[in-house]
Structure 1
Amino acid sequence: MASISSTLLLLNSRSDSPLRLHNFSSFSSRSENRNLGSITSPGRRRDGAMEATSAVEGVVTEAMKLIQSTSPTWKSAVAKNVLIFVLGSPLLVTGLSGSGIAAAFLLGTLTWRAYGSSGFLLVAAYFVLGTAATKVKMTEKEAQGVAEKKKGRRGPRSVIGSSAAGCVCAFLSIYQVGGPAFSQLFRLGFVSSFCTKVSDTVSSEIGKAYGKTTYLATTFKIVPRGTEGAMSIEGTLAGLLASLFLASIGCFLGQITPPEAAVCVLASQIANFGESIIGASFQDKEGFQWLNNDVVNVINISLGSIVAILMQQFILQNWVK
């Protein structure tokens, strides 16, 4: 190692010393110019590399400023989502397709811009809970023909169908529609929409995995697992707990108050029961071919948001001081 170091030092001292130029005095001027050019070009390359490095450092510094900024902006929301999605890609690919990840990135950016890190964490918690429930007894559900397609990996239509109401609430919050008086209402609607959806997903997946008896929502007749509009005691309880858990996270993160968390849980159960009735009455029926799962999801989460807002206005505002 000592000999390698001394050799490198010797090479450096030779390359940096201008006294070595006299060794080329016997060469022609053309050769001298060529050699001078070869001596100066590494310096030029080093200057170019230094400029490129400085430019990269400037970009990284600006990105870090955006990531560390406290007030959410569109730029900071994009920067933070890029970082999070890169780091979380191993988890994302288990629950989303490539185009689904792109749609989720747009949702994450919008959520961060509207509600900051707390809103983003709420949506992330919804995603983790929903994905975990979908994976439960996947092999058995596939054998019975009731499992989600593509091993439960959701595409962009599913992402949009699950978040449409939340996106609307986020947009209304960003542009302060209705002024400050409506700000908390939109936030409540946002949280309630995801409480509704996680309750729907968990109740459906756990019901298909563990439900012993499933009943049709409209007639309460016993029907096979996986039937549109079917409900089970096991699935309903699991969905209730999932909604309660997500509402508690929203309360802990400061998105909603404890009374509003209770409203979100109750609204989610009302909305899910309404969705079961819609599924049993109209889905897959003649004349309602357009009423697919994605459309029903939009109706479901929209109902969850609206019911929560109405309950806040007509119950909490008047009864809870």
Structure 2
Amino acid sequence: MSETIARKILHIVAISISAVSPYFIPHHILVIVVGVAVPVLFFLVKYGFFIDADQGRKSWGIVYFAAVLLTLLLLFPKNNELVFFPMLVLALADGFATIVGNLFGKRTFSFGEETKSWEGSTAFLFFTILSFEIIPKFLPFIRSPFDSFSALIIVSVFLTLLEALSIKGRDNIWVPLAVAYWILLDTTFINLFSLALIVVITAIVFFTYKKRWLTSAGAVATFLLGCLLLISPEPKWIIPALFFFVAGSLISFLPKSNKEESLGGRTANQVFYNGGIATVFISVYFLTNQFMFLIGGLSALSAAMSDTSSSEIGSRYGRKTYNILTGKKVISGLSGGVSLVGMGAGFVFTALFSLISIGLMDSSSWKLFLILLISGMAGNIMDSLLGALLQVKYRSDSTAQWSDFPTESPNQEMMGFRFITNDIVNLLTTIFAAFLGLLLYNLL
């Protein structure tokens, strides 16, 4: 048989054994075994022992799977189903999706660097449902985690889209973690109305995709984040996210932009790096009912709102832009540059976002408003500082102007760190703002 199919058969068998292992092996022994395996696998993959036959690159997915297995074992030592179902879905759905796609896949699609098939994704959906609903009926030590048909379908579709969007073996991270999240969440609230909400999300995302606010991958990423917020015990918290998304998209399509990324729709990376941290914090709030995590998530969104409005409006209408560290004049739109118009716009949109957010709270107060406003503006400033200090910039030998984007010149100059792009700066900014919001909430 082909190397790809042989590798996926090993994937199915090995990860299925991992799924049932907590029921038959003492927990401390299993943690030791997997704990030893993770660094061993890391070095084996790093030095080229495992190569992905399809992509011709190192198979980091093996390390990701082992690391996630260890994480689940450590986090849930007394809840075996939070190891069993994440590993079982990864084993069966992901494994058979690749086999079916490899043997029968004729209709393909791509959300980025990798091409997948509709036949493979259909197999993933089928085996996800099989893992949740059918297999537990034959195992006396486990029961299905979802009591309603609606929850089963929503979660299965969510996981299928997540796998389709994942690249470079990272589905071995995101799929099992997502399974664990949906099992931890009390899904008894999910019903036929929830399916109607899915239709609403789909319609909104499709509309924004047709308007070219989003790329195809960006549309799927937006759908996934929207599901986490809307299919929840408190779906109202999608409203601040919608305000950020709609306002940010409309601002980015204002005329006279000189920012290259504004010429097309937002990509999956841009969606995740701007809204992913906020969604994670708000999702933790849904699981724990700890209000501070909601504040952390809204603080991250506030910073994303402040930065987006500040940079987009400032790059268009800010007459004078200065480097935040040196005070020297720079071209409009360059990362690390600030303008009076841009900072003013950031303040206004952050204030609007904060007002909308506290208006949704059961016991809103000016203290909470100030937390979101301060976190948002502080995140905006941090974004500029990181942009000036660390973000990669380019300049050709024929111009004295620095740019955030590579030039076509073979002798281009570069400063900053190549891997710290604008997306990475946005991610770091939202992380900073989220933890600042947590700190302020606990201090004030």
- 1:27-38 matched pairs, under 5 angstroms: none
Structure 2 match to 1:215? 322
Structure 1 match to 2:250? 132
Residues in 2 aligned to 1:305 and 1:115: alpha-carbon distance in whole angstroms: 21
**Does the C-alpha gap of structure 1 residues 263 and 147 become closer, same or farther in structure 2, counting only changes over 3 Å?**
same
Greater relative contact order, per chain length (Cα 8 Å cut-off, separation 6+): 1
Residues in 1 aligned to 2:209 and 2:378: alpha-carbon distance in whole angstroms: 30
For residue 292 of structure 1, the aligned residue among 421, 424, 431 is 421
Residues in 2 aligned to 1:193 and 1:78: alpha-carbon distance in whole angstroms: 28
Structure 1 match to 2:386? 278
Structure 2 match to 1:257? 364
- TM-score (norm. length: structure 2): 0.50
Once the 2 structures are TM-superposed, how far is the Cα of residue 226 of structure 1 from its aligned partner?
1.6
Structure 2 match to 1:302? 431
**Does the C-alpha gap of structure 1 residues 93 and 254 become closer, same or farther in structure 2, counting only changes over 3 Å?**
farther
Is residue 217 of structure 2 the alignment partner of residue 99 of structure 1? yes
For residue 273 of structure 2, the aligned residue among 143, 161, 175 is 161
**Does the C-alpha gap of structure 1 residues 87 and 168 become closer, same or farther in structure 2, counting only changes over 3 Å?**
closer
- 1:50-199 matched pairs, under 5 angstroms: 72-73=189-190, 77=194, 79-86=196-203, 89-94=206-211, 95-114=213-232, 116-137=234-255, 140-141=256-257, 146-149=258-261, 151-176=263-288, 180=289, 183-199=290-306
Once the 2 structures are TM-superposed, how far is the Cα of residue 86 of structure 1 from its aligned partner?
1.5
**Does the C-alpha gap of structure 1 residues 296 and 303 become closer, same or farther in structure 2, counting only changes over 3 Å?**
same
RMSD of aligned residue pairs (Cα, Å): 2.6
Is residue 317 of structure 2 the alignment partner of residue 205 of structure 1? no
**Does the C-alpha gap of structure 1 residues 312 and 257 become closer, same or farther in structure 2, counting only changes over 3 Å?**
same
Partner amino acid for 1:225? S
**What are the Cα deviations for residues 238-295 of structure 1, in whole angstroms up to 9, with x where unaligned?**
0111011011111112277232121111111111111111110111165611101111
**Does the C-alpha gap of structure 1 residues 257 and 172 become closer, same or farther in structure 2, counting only changes over 3 Å?**
same
**Does the C-alpha gap of structure 1 residues 211 and 74 become closer, same or farther in structure 2, counting only changes over 3 Å?**
farther
Contact 1:81 1:108 in 2 (8 A): no
Once the 2 structures are TM-superposed, how far is the Cα of residue 166 of structure 1 from its aligned partner?
1.0
Structure 1 match to 2:181? none
Which structure would you say has the larger Rg?
1
Residues in 2 aligned to 1:92 and 1:310: alpha-carbon distance in whole angstroms: 37
**Does the C-alpha gap of structure 1 residues 98 and 168 become closer, same or farther in structure 2, counting only changes over 3 Å?**
same
Residues in 2 aligned to 1:297 and 1:152: alpha-carbon distance in whole angstroms: 18
Once the 2 structures are TM-superposed, how far is the Cα of residue 132 of structure 1 from its aligned partner?
1.1
Residues in 2 aligned to 1:169 and 1:160: alpha-carbon distance in whole angstroms: 13
Partner amino acid for 1:127? F
Fraction of identical pairs, as percent: 25
Residues in 2 aligned to 1:92 and 1:161: alpha-carbon distance in whole angstroms: 18
**Worse-matched range after superposition: 116-125 or 212-221:** 116-125
Once the 2 structures are TM-superposed, how far is the Cα of residue 90 of structure 1 from its aligned partner?
2.4
User: Any idea what SS the aligned residue of 2:234 has?
Assistant: helix
* Number of aligned residue pairs: 239
Is residue 341 of structure 2 the alignment partner of residue 234 of structure 1? yes
Contact 1:228 1:283 in 2 (8 A): yes
- TM-score (norm. length: structure 1): 0.68
For residue 353 of structure 2, the aligned residue among 235, 246, 249 is 246
**Worse-matched range after superposition: 82-91 or 223-232:** 82-91
Once the 2 structures are TM-superposed, how far is the Cα of residue 74 of structure 1 from its aligned partner?
8.9
Residues in 1 aligned to 2:231 and 2:438: alpha-carbon distance in whole angstroms: 22
**Worse-matched range after superposition: 191-200 or 149-158:** 149-158
Contact 1:115 1:170 in 2 (8 A): no
Residues in 1 aligned to 2:274 and 2:320: alpha-carbon distance in whole angstroms: 27
Partner amino acid for 1:311? L
**What are the Cα deviations for residues 37-90 of structure 1, in whole angstroms up to 9, with x where unaligned?**
xxxxxxxxxxxxxxxxxxxxxxxxx87xx99xx985498656413323225632
Once the 2 structures are TM-superposed, how far is the Cα of residue 225 of structure 1 from its aligned partner?
0.6
Residues in 2 aligned to 1:195 and 1:150: alpha-carbon distance in whole angstroms: 20
User: Any idea what SS the aligned residue of 1:123 has?
Assistant: helix
Structure 1 match to 2:441? 312
Contact 1:187 1:255 in 2 (8 A): no
Structure 1 match to 2:123? none
**Does the C-alpha gap of structure 1 residues 105 and 184 become closer, same or farther in structure 2, counting only changes over 3 Å?**
same
Residues in 1 aligned to 2:370 and 2:188: alpha-carbon distance in whole angstroms: 29
User: Any idea what SS the aligned residue of 1:175 has?
Assistant: helix
Partner amino acid for 1:244? A
User: Any idea what SS the aligned residue of 2:338 has?
Assistant: strand
Residues in 1 aligned to 2:243 and 2:430: alpha-carbon distance in whole angstroms: 17
Contact 1:118 1:254 in 2 (8 A): no
Residues in 1 aligned to 2:188 and 2:240: alpha-carbon distance in whole angstroms: 18
